[in-house]
Amino acid sequence: ADILIHVIDCAGGTNEKGEPITPGTYNPANDVKFLEFELDMWYFQIFKKVWEKFSRQVEQEKANIIKAIAKQFSGLRVTEDMVKEKLKKLNLEELHIIKWTEEQLMDFAKELRKETKPMIIAANKIDIHAAQENLERLKKEFPGYIIVGCSSESELALKEAAKHKLINYIPGENHFEVIGTLNDKQKNALEFIQKNILDKFGSTGVQEVLNIAVFDLLKYIAIFPGGINKLADKDGNIIPDCFLMPHGTTALSFAYR
């Protein structure tokens, strides 16, 4: 994965075992810490497994530490620039690699995990009252994370209504247009979503999470193939294709794609 989206129950209505409980009785910050710890330990174990042999080899061959580490862990998308920056941040530049303590190795692995597996937190169930207080607390407690309030239930309801041609709705928008005949139950549900989610938060948050992940964190660019005068395919669909490409894509690398 290029990026991780951690979906949590922001209302605190699910405990650590995944069992439903009364909203507001569980602290969703525990879930954030739990997954963070699991990922850090996963990375640490990958490093620890090879470190003794790897560090001895680097010392014996008097190899360039930055190049050696980047090459050894290239499968985790570790680059030389990342290694250089982390060594400096943790004051490990001058220390012989073979003399690193387990704690120093753990800190190094954690830093690289944060960089190579960026994570955004989707704080779901924002439509439940307890979630709104929790969201503000989470943002203060984890300033290093992007945390977006979401209501996946509202997004699903809007998508279903659009699919059945009851409304026009573009994911990420703060409104929808009624185009079909609604019964009282449908009308009340859509009015609730408009008033309590779209008007209050600007969107259901679901598309926002995806947009931030792809465009802000991964810095992908959207490219629409097609000539200047011909933006349609053989069936007349205008700009039918969009390719998401990494930052720095050239015309040649896009042609290969």
Closest CA to 126 of 67, 224, 209, 43: 209
Q: What is the pLDDT of residues 48-93, one digit of tens each?
A: 999 999 999 999 998 899 999 999 999 999 999 999 999 999 999 8
For 210-216, what is the mean pLDDT? 94
pLDDT confidence of residue 80:
95
- Which of 77-91, 132-146, 216-230 bottoms out in mean pLDDT, i.e. has the lowest? 216-230
Kindly give the residue spans of alpha helices, DSSP state H, lying in 91-232: 102-116, 129-141, 152-163, 184-193, 199-201, 206-211
DSSP string, 11-74: TS-B-TTS-B--TTSS-THHHHHHHHHHHHHHHHHHHHHHHHHHHHHHHHHT--HHHHHHHHTG
CB neighbourhood size of 62 (10 A): 7
